[in-house]
Structure 1
Amino acid sequence: MALRFVATVSAAVLAGFALAQSSTATRPTSFAFQKGVQALPQVVVRLKPGISPQLFAVSRGLSLIRPFASRGDTWVMAARSVADAAAYAATPEPDAESVYQDAILPIRLRWAPNDPLYSPGTPANAAGQWHLRNVNNLGGFNIDARLWPAWQRDITGQGVRIAICDDSVEKNHPDLAPNFDAVNSYDWADGDADPSPVLNAEGHGVNVAGVAAARGNNGIGVTGAAPLSTLVGLRLPFYSGTASSAFEDAIRYRSTGSNPIIQVKNHSYGFSIPYVDDPTEVAALVDIIAAVTIHVWAAGNDRRGSGNLGQNEDANKVATQTVPGQIVVAAIADNDRFAYYSSYGANITVTAPSSSSSRGITTTDRTGSQGDNGLAGYLDYTNLFGGTSSAAPLVTGVLALAKQVQPALNGRFAKHLLAISSDVVDSDDDTPASDGGWRTNSAGIAFNQNYGFGMINADRLTAAATRYSGVTALTTTDTGTISLNASIPDNNPTGLVRTFTVNTATPIEEAVVTLNISHSQRGNVEAYLTSPRGYR
């Protein structure tokens, strides 16, 4: 039987970046003319030694308001008007070290969640949302998505639309409703704009949506990684048989043109068997990735020994996850090791914290009796979620933060940024699935098939997104079909070796090799792509 084998090798190339231009420094503008600043009819005066503040104020038509608590030579003094204060601050003053006009500045408290399930201990002994910020260092290796520093810079995903392509998104859930976009949501099962769960089995997408985009700092439940993003629900009828056309439509939905309505789409699902040829979805992904929408895929929970046969433990066996320019996400547990279930492969982009055998992910749950009801007193939430189904929306939410600060972000750009900003984890990994452990490619980037470029770091990613303006234009080359017409030797570790040449001086970001092999036992066939420098 002819089988379709697909292998993807990713290599991030720093040379592909176009550096953003730095703005030149300007002199501070007077408070009276700065947008968002309310100039006050008062000045702050730092007096020279020996100068009486009372005499100074009276002789200049000012009145004392208060001294600085931190130093006795500095006083806040009232002027007759805002204009007088501005004029006085601009006039040289021989008896003062400095003078400036006081003002009310547009300052607010940094964004921080006040949601009760975010912090550990609610309910009693609960782990909290450790995957977002591991304040108690659960697991002992400080595993989390490094979101806190980004949130402290008020990077919350505001203005970015995240779409959850899944079995449902409950539009009236109290922690999803504030971010829910009813105009752009859609249900392929019922043909309407309400993606809420209907069947008893549905609710997976409600969990996924909470990880990415639950409303944070509203005093209830949980927060998502992108707590102020806009949430779009795209319901696909998984439990009644979903036609390929529906998946293709969901991939293309609201994602065409140079300025698509949906900026990031999450796919926490995949094929249940390997080597499914799905040309319609693949073609849709190629088209949409060439535009702007970023697609994030869960790598899969198929690692051998995790309660399944491991048919898709190599994520390269899933056609939709081998399309260049998208993000494929593996899972890491809190013990600094890949999660026991997490699929691996050369197409893995990044890893993100998710569940282990002893600790789950806390997120939104289907309301009422149809949910997991795993948290006492918080029946609309669960701490039993996990898998790469949770790791993927965590990355989706973080990419929404990066999109907020860098509107030019697309899939290729995001992949470059992830390559230079992610954290190396489990540095001693030498498992067979790692295919040699952490290795540095010719672009100077470390990669491991279990973790991709490393664990997501929201702080570093969002900072990098502001330093770069984009990537160089994409060029592609095709070797065409190379026919071998040769038998695969049995029990021969050397196997068949064929060399092909790509005639380009441009650094290679990604390579896709499609193999058509006839063999009676596909599980006994292995295929490797080796670079000229020996990187396999």
Structure 2
Amino acid sequence: QIGSLENYYHFHHSKTFKRSTLSSRGPHNFLRMDPKVDWLQQQEVKRRVKRQVRAEPHAQPFNDPVWPNMWYLHCSDKSSRCRSEMNILAAWQRGYTGKNVVVTILDDGIERNHPDLLQNYDPLASYDVNGNDHDPNPRYDASNENKHGTRCAGEVAASANNSYCIVGIAYNARIGGIRMLDGDVTDVVEAKSLGIRPDYIDIYSASWGPDDDGKTVDGPGLLAKQAFEHGIKKGRRGLGSIFVWASGNGGREGDYCSCDGYTNSIYTISISSTTENGYKPWYLEECASTLATTYSSGAFYERKIVTTDLRHSCTDGHTGTSVSAPMVAGIIALALEANPLLTWRDVQHLLVKTSRPVHLRAADWKTNGAGHKVSHLYGFGLVDADAIVVEAKKWKTVPPQHVCVGSLDRVPKYIRADHVLRTSTLSSACADHRDQHVLFLEHIVVRLSIAHPRRGDLQISLISPAGTRSQLLARR
């Protein structure tokens, strides 16, 4: 019987030739003459093609004219310089493009009517804090000073297949802009910006911070700190807002990103950069708070990042760690599409688990007590979009966060010239308090009070029981 079809049967005749170009008339004519047979058909092999998109490794899947120059997303130019991809295409081929995820750029505004941003622009995810209105469009001048936000927005959610400019990493995500850097930046301005519609916006991307001059120690004020805490506790209906931050561009000045209170906050995801060849860029800062890395610009002869620009244009000159934060914001948008129930801590766990050291060159790669390779330059390595969406799909939410607070004795200790001051503490991880007991270590926040005539001469390291050294402050 043929499947569930009643009175239809399939017969096989051993004497017919399978490869014959002629029908087998004799045996079939005898069957056709049988009064019990109403219908008969000799079966022919038909060609059928699976209706899947076949990914050719060097094909150009998009009609956006600058797509061939997006070397950090694909290796379609067959360049020997393309060492390792961030596996963006593989995540797209699984169907993840950022749909139903909202990303906002905290910056100097975004050009909302840019042809490559217009389709995905979301007015509900936008606001002008500087002008106190709902239009985040940047202020134009002769030098295009306020281009930064528009460039970052294109990396995240520039439209695909619109024959214009580039393709965003999350090209079906919604993109908004908070204009807050084109004016006096105060604690109120930052707090307002960090708290715009936290139940609607999923990801906030910021590529700015205190001066990267190798001297400044600064961070969020009281109001901005409260905005961060409110975001991770109440944002996304209790799942927590996701704040992505660029680690800083003060490498040439000897700056150290631990002195930046935004990048070293446990509430932010601090992102570093590497050159196309996996080397440390000249601008890169080191610190223990860096979580992961993307490609960006390097020396003058190395390729930079292409993205949207002011006045409806495109640029191939986007640079620095400013590039890396929105790239990761786009990749997190893919992960949230795969699993919208990820918490802010889940996202950090996923980045740690799926980022890879690959060919990133650093002398300080080490394996920590949890078995992860980690570096002060690159965090846990190059982000992998395909790996993170696969893990996100099956991820089980981590338990509620437990916070254990301990303190050392307050006896004054003296730091003598050319000597190292060592101090240690034994912690029970608050085992006596069930709601505080830490079973799995995620973050450590260290608060120190040091009086010293030359702050830049100090170096501070934290060493774990497993021997992992985290440098909290380097000489500057």
TM-score, structure 2 normalization? 0.82
Matched, 1:226 2:226: no
Aligned ranges 1:282-361 → 2 under 5 Å: 282-290=225-233, 291=238, 292-303=240-251, 305=252, 309-310=253-254, 313-357=255-299, 358-361=302-305
- Aligned CA RMSD, in angstroms, stands at 2.8
Q: Quick one: structure 1 residues 48 and 317, their matched pair in 2 at CA, closer, same or farther if it must change by over 3 Å?
A: farther
**Equivalence for 2:311:** 367
DSSP 3-state at the match of 1:513: coil
- Residue 234 of structure 1 and its aligned partner are, at CA, apart by 1.0
State how far apart, in whole Å, the 1-side matches of 2:346 and 2:166 are.
Answer: 30
Q: Is the 8 A contact 1:424 1:453 kept in 2?
A: yes
Q: What CA deviation, in whole Å up to 9, does each residue of 1:32-53 have, x standing for no partner?
A: xxxxxxxxx9xx9986354779
**Equivalence for 2:406:** 479
**Equivalence for 1:510:** 443
Q: Is the 8 A contact 2:103 2:125 kept in 1?
A: no
- Residue 108 of structure 1 and its aligned partner are, at CA, apart by 6.6
**Equivalence for 2:204:** 265
1:118 corresponds, among 67, 92, 96, to: 67
Q: Is the 8 A contact 1:421 1:461 kept in 2?
A: yes
Q: Quick one: structure 1 residues 131 and 488, their matched pair in 2 at CA, closer, same or farther if it must change by over 3 Å?
A: same
Identity %: 28
State how far apart, in whole Å, the 1-side matches of 2:191 and 2:40 are.
Answer: 72
DSSP 3-state at the match of 2:327: helix
Q: Quick one: structure 1 residues 153 and 520, their matched pair in 2 at CA, closer, same or farther if it must change by over 3 Å?
A: same
**Equivalence for 1:240:** 183
**Equivalence for 1:174:** 115
State how far apart, in whole Å, the 1-side matches of 2:89 and 2:317 are.
Answer: 23
State how far apart, in whole Å, the 1-side matches of 2:448 and 2:425 are.
Answer: 14
State how far apart, in whole Å, the 2-side matches of 1:172 and 1:64 are.
Answer: 61
Matched, 1:388 2:327: no
Unaligned runs of 5+ in 1: 1-29, 32-40, 71-103, 120-127, 369-379, 431-436
Q: Is the 8 A contact 2:130 2:182 kept in 1?
A: no
- Residue 139 of structure 1 and its aligned partner are, at CA, apart by 6.3
State how far apart, in whole Å, the 2-side matches of 1:183 and 1:349 are.
Answer: 30
- Residue 495 of structure 1 and its aligned partner are, at CA, apart by 2.3
Matched, 1:134 2:75: yes
**Equivalence for 2:435:** none
TM-score, structure 1 normalization? 0.74
State how far apart, in whole Å, the 1-side matches of 2:112 and 2:157 are.
Answer: 12
Unaligned runs of 5+ in 2: 17-22, 56-60, 432-437, 470-476
* 1:164 alignment partner AA: I
Q: Is the 8 A contact 1:115 1:220 kept in 2?
A: yes
- Residue 65 of structure 1 and its aligned partner are, at CA, apart by 9.6
Matched, 1:497 2:423: yes
- Residue 499 of structure 1 and its aligned partner are, at CA, apart by 2.5
Matched, 1:440 2:384: no
Bigger strand fraction: 1
State how far apart, in whole Å, the 1-side matches of 2:241 and 2:75 are.
Answer: 30
* 1:233 alignment partner AA: G
* 2:350 alignment partner AA: L
Matched, 1:527 2:460: yes
**Equivalence for 1:197:** 138
- Residue 242 of structure 1 and its aligned partner are, at CA, apart by 1.6
DSSP 3-state at the match of 2:447: strand
Q: Which moved more, 1:483-492 or 1:187-196?
A: 483-492
Q: Is the 8 A contact 2:102 2:125 kept in 1?
A: no
State how far apart, in whole Å, the 1-side matches of 2:249 and 2:412 are.
Answer: 35
Q: What CA deviation, in whole Å up to 9, does each residue of 1:146-177 have, x standing for no partner?
A: 10111111110011001111111111000000
DSSP 3-state at the match of 1:455: coil
* 1:151 alignment partner AA: W
Q: Is the 8 A contact 1:184 1:193 kept in 2?
A: no
State how far apart, in whole Å, the 1-side matches of 2:373 and 2:11 are.
Answer: 57
**Equivalence for 2:96:** 155
State how far apart, in whole Å, the 2-side matches of 1:343 and 1:488 are.
Answer: 26
Q: Is the 8 A contact 1:110 1:151 kept in 2?
A: no
1:425 corresponds, among 343, 352, 358, to: 358
Q: Quick one: structure 1 residues 229 and 489, their matched pair in 2 at CA, closer, same or farther if it must change by over 3 Å?
A: same
**Equivalence for 1:22:** none
DSSP 3-state at the match of 1:338: coil
- Residue 69 of structure 1 and its aligned partner are, at CA, apart by 3.4
State how far apart, in whole Å, the 2-side matches of 1:316 and 1:46 are.
Answer: 75
Q: Quick one: structure 1 residues 239 and 194, their matched pair in 2 at CA, closer, same or farther if it must change by over 3 Å?
A: closer
State how far apart, in whole Å, the 2-side matches of 1:227 and 1:48 are.
Answer: 53
State how far apart, in whole Å, the 2-side matches of 1:109 and 1:453 are.
Answer: 33
**Equivalence for 1:211:** 155
DSSP 3-state at the match of 2:243: strand
- Residue 480 of structure 1 and its aligned partner are, at CA, apart by 4.2
DSSP 3-state at the match of 1:519: coil
Count of residue pairs brought into register by the alignment: 425
Q: What CA deviation, in whole Å up to 9, does each residue of 1:476-498 have, x standing for no partner?
A: 11114752422211111x22424
Q: What CA deviation, in whole Å up to 9, does each residue of 1:452-499 have, x standing for no partner?
A: 11000101111111121211221111114752422211111x224243
- Residue 115 of structure 1 and its aligned partner are, at CA, apart by 1.1
Q: Is the 8 A contact 1:143 1:353 kept in 2?
A: no
State how far apart, in whole Å, the 2-side matches of 1:318 and 1:53 are.
Answer: 83
- Residue 282 of structure 1 and its aligned partner are, at CA, apart by 2.2
State how far apart, in whole Å, the 1-side matches of 2:418 and 2:450 are.
Answer: 17
Q: Is the 8 A contact 1:168 1:195 kept in 2?
A: yes
**Equivalence for 1:68:** 46
**Equivalence for 1:459:** 386
State how far apart, in whole Å, the 2-side matches of 1:155 and 1:349 are.
Answer: 23
State how far apart, in whole Å, the 1-side matches of 2:46 and 2:90 are.
Answer: 31
Q: Is the 8 A contact 1:181 1:232 kept in 2?
A: yes
Matched, 1:144 2:92: no
DSSP 3-state at the match of 1:352: strand
Q: Is the 8 A contact 1:267 1:298 kept in 2?
A: yes
Q: More relative contact order in 1 or in 2 (CA 8 Å, sep 6+)?
A: 1
State how far apart, in whole Å, the 2-side matches of 1:400 and 1:471 are.
Answer: 19
Q: Is the 8 A contact 2:84 2:358 kept in 1?
A: no
DSSP 3-state at the match of 1:529: strand
Q: Is the 8 A contact 1:137 1:143 kept in 2?
A: no
Q: Is the 8 A contact 2:151 2:318 kept in 1?
A: yes
1:405 corresponds, among 324, 330, 338, to: 338
State how far apart, in whole Å, the 2-side matches of 1:173 and 1:65 are.
Answer: 57
State how far apart, in whole Å, the 1-side matches of 2:376 and 2:78 are.
Answer: 26
* 1:130 alignment partner AA: W
DSSP 3-state at the match of 2:150: helix
DSSP 3-state at the match of 2:227: helix
Q: Which moved more, 1:57-66 or 1:336-345?
A: 57-66
- Residue 325 of structure 1 and its aligned partner are, at CA, apart by 4.0
Q: Is the 8 A contact 1:316 1:345 kept in 2?
A: yes
Q: Is the 8 A contact 1:297 1:329 kept in 2?
A: yes
